[in-house]
Structure 1
């Protein structure tokens, strides 16, 4: 692969960004290679998703195979202990796109920048390997993940996927359908975005922890779709309400996105902002 001067500068900047964020998070991030490291990474994913280690979403043998075939398997360490891990693989067209399959961070260090540092390490690695796009999925009901993906990274929500994985039995996803938002991150864009204007008319709002749908204004150029700020807490204290939210968000976001409405932002409070297609 021939690397242009501009591409070389982009990769160098991405490496610097990744190193700065890793230092800020107090983490040493590197690729994993040994079988023992793969066992540790698989066990970390099991802890994060609250399942027995033999039911981890990614087993050690698969991690070995992915790393051996030059895909992305990396870990974040602090004091020699694995505190986070991330896995990605190339998808067609292989020379330009990486799918980030799973990223997990130990609960003891959650919210301290380790996940963000892993994502930027993955970005730098992908650019070094010729990729220009990265895709992944996330639960669109988790407001903090929506804000991070769309606002912090400036990734684009491109498709609403209903019950994407089917029935899941782990401690995070059990008892609900596995809807996901497909995200695409253009890696050579500036990875930052401003705050979103939430003044658009809402089509879904929070009313005493329950969803309340509103009609789509016929002449609205933009609309707002609200979600709970803490769906995980709601799932614990009121599982029935949480299940209602899954169906309500699907009913609001899925037809809008299928109809060409563009997801252009997410507020810190938990609101999706969409603009009508031109």
Structure 2
């Protein structure tokens, strides 16, 4: 972590061995080495990579090299890994208010053919954050993107604690399209994350909401463990093929989630079959 001249430095305990071991195993399985980007040339490469992932011109990348340089200089971190073809994955972290003992992941991305690189990147972020004294990591994600929901909740063990309507406003890129940018806030306990595998609800016994998803099937049910809410398998592809239908999914999911989160529910899991699990009294 960069400490400007004259600023006091605090010696903090290192990340627990278990977190370090998890990060090393993840990197080994993915065949990568996660590094910290600090020089301008590397930060420029990271910025170009982010533009490719979000399908924007390099001049309108989600984060320019100048912004990434400021993140590093302010004491945050830009992690990356690369191979002969260039950057494979990258992320940027900053600190939340001191009282929260949390870091905020501004952005994280990996190539489509991930092979566990994204997981390795996240574990490297975790070790770095723990080394700086953080206890939790916070970020936002599109609640309609099922692969991200599964990664964040089922694989990492984060929880969705807030649902914000049109968080960023309209974003002109190739991923969000013209859709509104509703976002879930994910909170990841860094010391003892608890990822769980879920099979989804049993529709033969669950209480099914009379509303139907845009595909005509049930998408909101309740059973003894809480609520379940289904999202489409590939909203990014749907936006390209049928923006109107994608927007209908957005409004349906919004109408389901907003009141449940307001009542105190938390998204605590996500099934392979595309269902969020929401439980009451589980705030992270």
Q: Structure 2-normalised TM-score?
A: 0.87
Q: 1:194: how far off? A: 3.0
Equivalent position of 1:171 in the other structure? 174
The answer to whether the 8 A contact 1:202-1:224 is kept is no
Equivalent position of 1:143 in the other structure? 146
Q: 1:148: how far off? A: 1.1
Matched, 1:123 2:126: yes
Q: How does 1:163-202 map to 2 (within 5 A)?
A: 163-199=166-202, 200-202=206-208
Equivalent position of 1:225 in the other structure? 229
The answer to whether the 8 A contact 1:234-1:242 is kept is yes
SS across alignment from 1:28: coil
Matched, 1:93 2:98: yes
Provide closer, same or farther for how the CA distance between residues 201 and 65 of structure 1 changes in structure 2, counting only shifts above 3 A. same
CA distance in 2, matches of 1:210, 1:64: 48
CA distance in 2, matches of 1:191, 1:277: 16
Equivalent position of 2:29 in the other structure? 24
Provide closer, same or farther for how the CA distance between residues 267 and 213 of structure 1 changes in structure 2, counting only shifts above 3 A. closer
SS across alignment from 2:23: helix
SS across alignment from 1:89: strand
Unaligned runs of 5+ in 1: none
Q: Which moved more, 1:87-96 or 1:133-142?
A: 87-96
- CA-atom RMSD in angstroms: 2.3
Q: Which moved more, 1:124-133 or 1:13-22?
A: 13-22
Count of residues paired in the alignment:
269
Q: 1:212: how far off? A: 5.9
Matched, 1:37 2:42: yes
Q: Structure 1-normalised TM-score?
A: 0.88
Unaligned runs of 5+ in 2: 1-9
Q: 1:57: how far off? A: 0.8
CA distance in 2, matches of 1:45, 1:142: 18
Q: How does 1:1-278 map to 2 (within 5 A)?
A: 1=10, 3=12, 8=14, 10-79=15-84, 81-93=86-98, 96-107=101-112, 110-199=113-202, 200-203=206-209, 206=213, 209=215, 222-277=226-281
The answer to whether the 8 A contact 1:210-1:244 is kept is no
The answer to whether the 8 A contact 1:97-1:134 is kept is yes
